[in-house]
Structure 1
Amino acid sequence: MSAPTLHVTLISETFPPEINGVATTLGRLSEGLRQRGHQVDLVRPRQATDPAHAGDEQLLCRGWPVPGYPGLQWGQVSMHKLLRRWRRQRPDVLYIATEGPLGLSALRAARRLGIAVVSGFHTNFQQYTSEYGLGLLTRLLTHYLRWFHRRTHTTLVPSVSQRLELERRGFDNLTLMARGVDSQLFNPGRRNKALRDQWGLENEDIALLYVGRLAAEKNLAVLQQCLHAAQQQYPLRCIKLIVVGDGPQRSALQLQLPEAVFCGAQRGEALAEHYASGDIFLFPSLTETFGNVVLEALASGLGVVAYDQAAAAQHIRHGHSGALAMPGDVEAFIDACNWLVEDAEALRRVRLNARQHASRQGWPAIIEQFENHLREACRQPQQLNTAPQAATLVIKSGSSAPRG
């Protein structure tokens, strides 16, 4: 006998068509659950592209802009509105992907009604604070996040390194659930000569590619260091930096890197063509919970250079399917890039192995794992929380932290 279908509600302050790793992952998970026959509702902030009436499967709430992140929002909805909605049509389980005011309201309402809750740790906000000059908030924010996730059935984390980091900070009941990649969309066959012509590159020239948010926490100064080191080491080679993405640091980076090609944010097949038209993918971020772009680059057959953590640590074998440096070792990162620039045969071999590995990392198995975690939460007895006042002080002391 087949297992009963679930009524799942996802709570997130970002969702497609917004461009970021959290939105991409949630879009895949929600569509995968629907394809498996489950009812999936969504609670999120209203986006500029949303119609006036979003349908019964979505609750769109007011959003407040996130400082320094144009296009991203904190969501705000009253707990009482959620209580009314979920008393009328009770979900079996919630998945809370973001811990801001919207996620907090959903958590409190679920505990009041005894609804099962699974949470996800998608963003290292406690690490971002230092990048934005808010280092004093790190301890407070970590305390709030730990408090938040302890009140859910389990917290899904995407990488082994992320789980170890959270355990070191006192988080518990963590469950590993990795990410997948669409290897039909992202594949080397989408390499586009016309696009490389626009970049001013011949077939034998080297395109150093970066895809992602252009923001302080991405450690983007390393891109300039890699480019200049490679150009000085190999002055007879044509080596260009191609930057795909947008964010608060774009203007500053364009001033610092006038010779680089800035392509802006790309989606779908256009994004896949940009990946496949590169040669070496540089990913210097040190704050990732996973890094979906690493898998997308591997699937596109690129030689990936990254720090040995998160997705790179799980999916790259150094010297075989990519090149890794110890976290924070900029010289080793630059050396890894130069190795792939210098050794054409090594780059060819690494790109082939990268594609072979990534082609086995599909989404269906991840979505099945996700469904199993939701079912397990539903099977556990839920305790009604009819007196949340005891937690109010903790909530109030931490709830302002995510607003920055």
Structure 2
Amino acid sequence: MAPVDTGAMNVTSLHIALISETFPPEINGVANTLGRLSQGLIQRGHRLQLIRPRQLADEQQASDEHLLLTRGWPLPGYPGLQWGQSSLHKLLRRWQRQRPDVLYIATEGPLGLSALRAARRLGIPVVSGFHTNFQQYTGHYGLGLLTRALTRYLRWFHNRTRMTLVPSPSQRLELQRRGFERLMLLARGVDGQLFHPSHRSPELRASWGLGQDDIAVLHVGRLAAEKNLALLVRSFRELQQRFPQQRLKLVLVGDGPLRAQLQEELPQAIFCGVQRGTALAEHYASGDLFLFPSLSETFGNVVLEAQAAGLAVVAYDQAAAAQHIHHGHNGALAMPGDEQGFIDAACWLLEDRESLRSVRLNARQHAGKQGWDAIVAQFEHLLQDASSAHITDEKKPRCAGA
């Protein structure tokens, strides 16, 4: 380790190994977060080693000192993604040659478990991240009996790391109640230059069949059971019934196993598929109202992205929404599980044009201040603390027989 000037203060340059099942250019909240954190750490002078399963797009990609690709299995329900296989001996050999100062394990599958075991064997400190509520997904896929077992495994896994980073106070409280220990808050940010109202496109709106004064009701995310999309359908239909004089169009950005079913239920809706970069920013900014009915998020990056693009967001009062939406000021909230409350919140936003305009302006103003720089700096110091504490522990004298 060597000192590096990050611009604000001198900190120790770290050799960090990041282990994850998913990483950009894959499109999901975990990949987006890890991409931002990794880029920020590299810019701040740290050395990063990425360990992830080989994906379909990696046919010509070779491992090197900064990247270790492992074998993987296809992940059911997630076309194109691979579930990393256990790689204990491969990781032991690599880390004996190039020992990291600290590990960050973002996913708890076989690859993450083998990294945890290798690190414990070699005495390398580990920080973990709780990025996905896998224990909540089981019920949506007919595997409810596994929920308790999966929760026990996740608790066992994370409690064997030096600390677990969680994205929201509500997530931290839920995990504390389930016996998870040493939980630290690491929020999420948004690229306020990419996601910006200036990307609003009259041409895109026209392709949706909407004029300047019409309302685009937007949803961005994976079209899957865990996203509570039945409420999205119900909410939009009630908006149509309550505001028959208003031209409304439901626009869905993303893909997933429920797409075909939703297209049958919503023949008039616009299905845009997966969008990236500037195209995604244009889709956000060309919307007006953003419905986010999910109850399974650890955070929900799309909430901040929609706010940054100047949309009025309707969501449940948890995760990102609980942190970043002040009901009636820069969005609208419903109590978790209150479906009628969610629908009423959406309808309230369309009752008055001036109120909708004010909420959208306030949303942009708030989200524009939620950049990634401070979050990367916090992540850096948490990793530094884990590494320094481990060195201190190793130097402590041990009692005979300990």
TM interval, short-chain normalised: over 0.9
Deviation at 1:77, TM superposition (A): 3.7
Partners of 2:264 and 2:63 in 1: CA distance: 41
Partners of 1:61 and 1:257 in 2: CA distance: 41
The answer to whether residue 36 in structure 2 is matched with residue 12 in structure 1 is: no
Amino acid at match of 2:323: Q
Give the unaligned 5+ runs of structure 1. Answer: 385-404
Map Cα deviations across residues 151-204 of structure 1 (whole Å, 9 max, x no partner).
Answer: 101000000110011111111110001000000000001000000000000011
CA contact (8 A) 1:70 1:248 kept: no
Deviation at 1:72, TM superposition (A): 2.3
| SS of structure 2 residue aligned to 1:381 | helix
Aligned to 1:115: 124
- Choose the corresponding residue for 1:322, options 328, 331, 345: 331
Partners of 2:232 and 2:282 in 1: CA distance: 21
TM-score norm. by structure 2 comes to 0.94
- Choose the corresponding residue for 1:235, options 244, 256, 269: 244
Aligned to 2:183: 174
| SS of structure 1 residue aligned to 2:296 | coil
Aligned to 2:62: 53
Map Cα deviations across residues 25-75 of structure 1 (whole Å, 9 max, x no partner).
Answer: 000000000000100010001122222324321000111112122122210
CA contact (8 A) 1:241 1:261 kept: yes
Aligned to 1:71: 80
CA contact (8 A) 1:78 1:105 kept: yes
Give the unaligned 5+ runs of structure 2. Answer: 4-9, 395-402
Amino acid at match of 1:107: L
Partners of 2:202 and 2:373 in 1: CA distance: 32
Deviation at 1:226, TM superposition (A): 1.2
Aligned length: 384
Amino acid at match of 1:156: L
Deviation at 1:110, TM superposition (A): 0.2
Partners of 2:61 and 2:239 in 1: CA distance: 51
- Choose the corresponding residue for 1:213, options 202, 206, 222: 222
Deviation at 1:3, TM superposition (A): 2.4
Deviation at 1:236, TM superposition (A): 1.6
Partners of 1:260 and 1:177 in 2: CA distance: 36
- Choose the corresponding residue for 2:372, options 363, 376, 381: 363
CA contact (8 A) 1:206 1:341 kept: no
Partners of 2:154 and 2:120 in 1: CA distance: 17
Map Cα deviations across residues 125-172 of structure 1 (whole Å, 9 max, x no partner).
Answer: 001111111111011000000000011010000001100111111111
Amino acid at match of 1:260: A
By relative contact order (CA 8 Å, sep 6+), the higher-ranking structure is 1
- Choose the corresponding residue for 2:263, options 254, 265, 273: 254
Amino acid at match of 1:291: G
| SS of structure 2 residue aligned to 1:262 | strand
- Choose the corresponding residue for 1:152, options 161, 172, 197: 161
Aligned to 1:43: 51
Aligned to 2:173: 164
Deviation at 1:380, TM superposition (A): 1.6
Map Cα deviations across residues 227-272 of structure 1 (whole Å, 9 max, x no partner).
Answer: 1101111112110100000111111111111111000000000000
Aligned to 2:283: 274
RMSD: 1.1
| TM alignment of 1:344-355, pairs within 5 A | 344-355=353-364
Deviation at 1:78, TM superposition (A): 2.1
CA contact (8 A) 1:123 1:289 kept: yes
**282-291 or 339-348: which moved more?**
339-348
Aligned to 1:393: none
| SS of structure 1 residue aligned to 2:390 | coil
CA contact (8 A) 2:70 2:84 kept: yes
Partners of 1:139 and 1:343 in 2: CA distance: 46
Amino acid at match of 1:41: Q
CA contact (8 A) 1:33 1:367 kept: yes
TM-score norm. by structure 1 comes to 0.93
Partners of 2:268 and 2:350 in 1: CA distance: 18
Aligned to 2:231: 222
CA contact (8 A) 2:53 2:85 kept: yes
| TM alignment of 1:393-404, pairs within 5 A | none
Partners of 1:205 and 1:161 in 2: CA distance: 36
Amino acid at match of 1:308: D
CA contact (8 A) 2:70 2:87 kept: no
| SS of structure 1 residue aligned to 2:26 | coil
- Choose the corresponding residue for 1:302, options 311, 329, 332: 311
What is the aligned-residue identity percentage? 70
CA contact (8 A) 1:242 1:260 kept: yes
- Choose the corresponding residue for 1:381, options 369, 372, 390: 390
Aligned to 1:398: none
Structure 1 residue runs of 4 or more that deviate by more than 3 Å after TM superposition: none
Partners of 1:117 and 1:379 in 2: CA distance: 12
